Structure 1
């Protein structure tokens, strides 16, 4: 699989059900989300601004391919401050390909920490997308794979920044919303 194929196959509206285990809080969490993924043009102003603000050295060694916007709205059964609070947000993600099966992703907002992030990605032989992001206080390792055209799975492990301890694990199944 290539990043272009992955983004094209991921585009659309998804209903996600995620189970998470926070080892730090000794808490299980169930999260229901609506996720929308849409491809955007390389010439989009937000894409250009993200690339200009990026700290990636040697961007010229990589090819900007298939940028996309991801939006989410999530409801959790465990919110420490307000159980009725809904979490939502969006981010721009710009893949920079190194070769057919690997490269970097620049994210306007990260997965584990709410800051811009640069991730390393690669595809396994079976088409599984793997992503590793080093944040200031943690390391996120994610895997996404397609079970069928309209069903995909996602798992993540959040480690301490030194990589020595596991803070959180999660698994999500995601089903594409199909318009009748």
Structure 2
């Protein structure tokens, strides 16, 4: 697996079922989401804006993309039917064939711009590590088949010693007929 094939395989609309366990709150959460991943060009204004804010050289990027999500959780205390949604632009900056940095307009664990480190394992699993001010998030994404992928995450304390939250998601591509 390389970065270009990972982004190409990820493009499309996915239906996600995620189970999360918040150790900090001793709460179990089930989330149903729709995730859309769209490939972008290096000349897309959203990509250029993110590059400018991080002072990154546009010549070094590869396979930028945008992700949009809409999620329903059973852990909404006031309104269980409340839908959370958002989007972010992601711009990979490869260091070599299997690793690099990923510029994110919005992070996974904390709603702030972030620079993550990514790498591919020998089995094709994409591993993304992001250090935030209060936590460290590690996500793993792997393909079971062309239209099914899995995602797991672990959110640790900023020192990396304690686990705050874990999750696992199975995602199925929505096919258009």
Range into which the TM-score falls when normalised by the shorter chain = over 0.9
- Retained in 2: the 8 A contact 1:62–1:103? no
**Structure 2 alignment gaps of length 5 or more:** none
RMSD: 1.3
Which residue of 120, 124, 127 corresponds with 2:117?
120
Q: Return the offset for 1:83.
A: 1.7
Q: How does 1:159-178 map to 2 (within 5 A)?
A: 159-178=156-175
Q: Which moved more, 1:46-55 or 1:70-79?
A: 46-55
Q: Return the offset for 1:63.
A: 2.1
CA distance in structure 2 between the aligned counterparts of 1:72 and 1:92, rounded to whole angstroms: 12
TM-score (structure 1 length as normaliser): 0.95
**SS at 1:99's partner residue?**
coil
TM-score (structure 2 length as normaliser): 0.97
- Aligned residue pair count: 177
**Structure 1 alignment gaps of length 5 or more:** none
- 1:23-68 Cα shifts (integer Å, max 9, x gaps): 011000000000000001100111011011116xxx4598200100
1:75 paired residue number? 72
| 1:32 to 2:26 alignment | no
- Retained in 1: the 8 A contact 2:100–2:119? yes
- Retained in 2: the 8 A contact 1:62–1:98? no
Could you list the structure 1 runs, at least 4 aligned residues long, displaced by more than 4 angstroms after superposition: 59-62
Which residue of 88, 102, 105 corresponds with 1:105?
102
